[in-house]
């Protein structure tokens, strides 16, 4: 979590963002349906903060991150970065903003080019955007390698010569090359050993404090989210179902899905672990090409009512700065 207080200025706003992938059939590739990977998402990220985005695999977290950066073209909706609507920009106009918005990919083994040296990979964004000359780029590469804890001698080596944690540091250095202000970290520690995960997270926190970075931290590890994030958005089947400050979400979860996720976090006390109540979700996540009528979570929800199978809940502010899309939670708040 950033040591500096955010100034409250919104750096990124997503409005009613949708990303549907067509399902085609036959020789002529006729569209017969759509996979609703991101389905009407609205959220804000403030300058200097870390927003955690959590949920099960396949719920649309990575697709949301890539659609924000226009790596996927949105089906509907708008993305505002520093007040500018990115969805209306041409590829040429978007180049300027790509320098400010970068991504750290999940898999450091496949996201690095095995045929390029580390120095060439880190310098590539500078070359593409025409930043500096050869000498200044080399100096920038050496500076970045020092900053991520590797050192200039690594510039002439290839990715296969490094461990997973070191490769992820290289990915971080590459993301920082153009001095971005906003970084999407797409499950950056998932493929790493537990002992290395903490080192990479600590590095990201240090860089945030030094450079004033804003993060969208995508993960399914809720125990890590508690330490690095300021706010948390919970995603299920393409939709945000709960959004709150990290302390509020952990201490007072409202949505049944959030409660189930939190109950799955291991407790280091054997006696407490043996006696605590857990919410076990039955079944699998529904097919995003054919989501349930009403609330997306109704097929697995232990407290679903008749209304949940008929109407779709909206993400509303049930308590100050705590947003939830759940009819049952709404009724409980009103009745309290």
Average pLDDT in the 17-42 region? 92
Pick one of 1.10.150.20, 3.40.190.10, 3.40.605.10, 3.40.50.300 as the CATH number of 10-100+180-335.
3.40.50.300
CB 68 within 8 A of CB 320: no
Report which DSSP code applies to 129. T
Residue 10 tokens read as 């919104």
Side-chain half-sphere exposure of 182, counting CA atoms within 13 A: 21
**Dmax (CA) of the chain:** 67
Residue 285 reports pLDDT greater than 90: no
Q: Is the pLDDT of residue 263 over 90?
A: no
Q: What is the pLDDT of residue 227?
A: 87
DSSP 160: G
> What whole-number distance in Å separates Cα of residue 314 and Cα of residue 290?
19
Calculate what percentage of the chain has a pLDDT beyond 70: 96
Domain ranges within the chain, ordered by starting residue: 10-100+180-335
pLDDT for res 295? 95
Is 70 exceeded by the pLDDT of residue 29?
Answer: yes
Please identify which residue in the block is written with the tokens 């903060």. Answer: 49
Average confidence score pLDDT of the chain? 90
More confident residue, 194 or 155: 155
**pLDDT over 80 (residue 273):** no
- Band (pLDDT 50/70/90 cuts) for residue 2 is very low
More confident residue, 190 or 36: 36
Confidence (pTM): 0.91
* Residue 332, H or E segment: helix 327-335
- 81-101 mean pLDDT: 88
Say which residues have a Cβ less than 8 Å from residue 206's Cβ, sequence separation at least 6.
Answer: none
């Amino acid at each position: 979590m950033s040591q500096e207080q955010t100034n409250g200025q919104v750096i990124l706003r997503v409005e009613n963002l949708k990303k549907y992938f067509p399902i085609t059939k036959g020789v002529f590739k006729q569209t017969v349906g759509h996979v609703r990977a991101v389905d009407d998402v609205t959220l804000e990220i403030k300058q200097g903060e870390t927003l955690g985005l959590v949920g099960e695999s396949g719920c649309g977290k990575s697709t949301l991150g890539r659609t924000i950066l226009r790596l996927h073209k949105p089906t509907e909706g708008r993305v505002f970065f520093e007040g500018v609507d990115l969805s209306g920009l041409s590829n040429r106009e978007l180049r300027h903003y790509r320098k400010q918005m970068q991504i750290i990919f999940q898999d450091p083994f496949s996201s690095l080019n095995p045929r390029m040296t580390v120095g060439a990979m880190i310098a590539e964004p500078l070359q593409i955007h025409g930043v500096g000359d050869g000498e200044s780029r080399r100096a920038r590469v050496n500076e970045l390698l020092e900053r991520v804890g590797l050192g200039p001698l690594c510039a002439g080596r290839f990715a296969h010569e490094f461990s997973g944690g070191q490769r992820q540091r290289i990915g971080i250095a590459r993301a920082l090359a153009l001095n971005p202000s906003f970084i999407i970290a797409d499950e950056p520690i998932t493929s790493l050993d537990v002992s290395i995960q903490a080192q990479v997270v600590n590095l990201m926190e240090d860089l945030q404090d030094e450079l004033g970075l804003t993060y969208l931290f995508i993960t399914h590890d809720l125990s890590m989210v508690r330490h690095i994030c300021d706010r948390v958005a919970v995603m299920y089947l393409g939709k945000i179902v709960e959004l709150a400050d990290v302390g509020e979400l952990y201490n007072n979860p409202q949505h049944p899905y959030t409660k189930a996720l939190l109950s799955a976090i291991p407790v280091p006390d054997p006696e407490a672990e043996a006696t605590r109540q857990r919410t076990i979700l039955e079944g699998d996540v529904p097919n995003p090409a054919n989501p349930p009528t009403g609330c997306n979570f109704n097929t697995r929800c232990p407290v679903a009512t008749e209304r949940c199978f008929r109407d779709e809940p909206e993400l509303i502010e049930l308590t100050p700065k705590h947003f939830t899309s759940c009819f049952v939670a709404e009724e409980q708040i009103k009745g309290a």
